[in-house]
Amino acid sequence: MTGEARAFWLRTPGRGEIRPMPLAVPGPGEVLVRSRYSGISRGTETLIFAGRVPADQYAAMRAPFQEGDFPAPVKYGYLNVGVVEQGPAELRGRTVFCLHPHQSAYVVPAEAVVPVPDAVPPARAVLAGTVETAVNALWDAAPLVGDRVSVVGAGMVGCCVAALLARFPGVRVELVDTDPTRAQVAAALGVGFAPPQEATGGRDLVVHASATAAGLQRSLELLRPEGTVVELSWYGDRTVALALGGAFHSGRLTVRASQVGAVAPARRDSRSFADRLGLALDLLADPAFDALLTGESRFAELPDVLARLTAGSLPALCHLITYDGE
């Protein structure tokens, strides 16, 4: 062992803690990474914090370097940016992204880290996992030049999808959310904004990311005949009720799931997980993504921060965790 690190663990649903963790000596082909930032994936991590992972999804929801099992105790998270202190010469001193839980330092195989491009600030790089989800969703959705697209739900995932769609030639993007303050984020991303009751209809494509039944229902209502909703929300153990009479059948509407755990079929033969993550990091050179970083706290405060995010008393898109002095 080279020493000791500290890691966040969910001790029981609704209660987290910081625990000491032994830090192994990196072996051949491994790296020791000292964390600088981690990001909280609010939708997924608050459901996990509340103990709301369905039992039949325990295996599917495992993070790459998770320890423990759902519902608890479990060490979870997957948005980490740090600096390689030990490892292969070409990686030593490099800032890297890793799908690792919240932990002050860790040892992983060298192929598990991806160097952060020089054009991407380390704090912004924590969004790589979320932008990767957006990339996969757009590989699934395959929008066309000139499409009319709505993104319902202006959380981290929805905002990342909207930011990427804004780059498509001729695509008219409208971000839809019940929170009027998200209009400022939409403006920073270069897309339109509307509350649900004022959202524009006749859309070719709707990407749903609000994780609410009302949001999914409104997404269907916004479609033109034979349009598609790409569903990115994860509902945990909640049941979703929809009214599928009316235009759902007569309009031949489609609801299609997209999930980052597998590369989208349209690119599965030609892109690996590493390719997809590398693309996400390259896309983060756009400073517009800074609009998604809406607060920060020290690592020692993480148990309280996750409790407040879960309760809804701490508003945030991506809340940064910093490790300087822990």
pLDDT digits (tens, 9 = 90+) for 151-191: 999 999 999 999 999 999 999 999 999 999 999 999 999 99
- Say which residue the tokens 């019940």 belong to: 178
138 & 251 share domain: yes
For residue range 207-216, what is the model confidence (pLDDT) as tens digits? 999 999 999 9
Residue 324 has pLDDT above 70, yes or no: yes
Q: Would residue 268 count as lying in a domain?
A: no
Bridge partners of 15?
Answer: 12
Q: What pLDDT score was predicted for residue 16? A: 98
Asked if residue 213 is part of any domain, the answer here is: yes
Contacts of 311 (CB under 8 A, 6+ apart): none
274 found inside a domain: no
- Are 114 and 162 within one domain? no
* pLDDT for the residue 1: 54
Same domain, residue pair 71 and 151: no
Does 212 share its domain with 148?
yes
How far apart CA 221 and CA 215 sit, in angstroms, is 10
The residue among 200, 222, 257 that closes a domain is: 257
Model-level pTM?
A: 0.93
Verify that 141 and 98 share a domain, yes or no.
no
pLDDT at 326: 66
Residue 93 lies inside a defined structural domain of this protein: yes
Q: Which domain holds residue 137?
A: 133-257
Verify that 153 and 170 share a domain, yes or no.
Answer: yes
Residue 129 structure tokens: 């996992």
The CATH number that applies at residue 154 is 3.40.50.720
pLDDT tens-digit readout, 290-318: 999 999 999 999 999 999 999 999 988 99
**One-character DSSP codes across 67-108:** EE-SSSSEE----EEEEEEES-TTTTT-EEEE---SBSEEEE
- Domain-ending residue, one of 257, 273, 306: 257
251 inside domain: yes
pLDDT in tens, 35-47: 999 999 888 899 9
How many domains would you assign to the chain?
2
Based on the domain organization, do 114 and 140 belong to the same domain?
A: no
Average pLDDT, the chain: 96
Same domain, 138 and 202: yes
In CATH, what number is assigned to the domain containing residue 16? 3.90.180.10
Looking at residue 71, its pLDDT comes to: 96
Residue 3 has pLDDT above 90, yes or no: no
Domain assignment present for 278: no
Q: Which residues contact 160 (CB under 8 A, 6 or more apart)?
A: 127, 130, 131, 133, 134, 289, 292
Which amino acid, one-letter code, is at 87?
G
In a domain, 104, yes or no: yes
Do residues 173 and 246 share a domain?
Answer: yes
Secondary structure element (H or E) that encloses residue 10, with its range: strand 3-12
> Is residue 142 domain-shared with residue 118, that is, in the same domain?
no
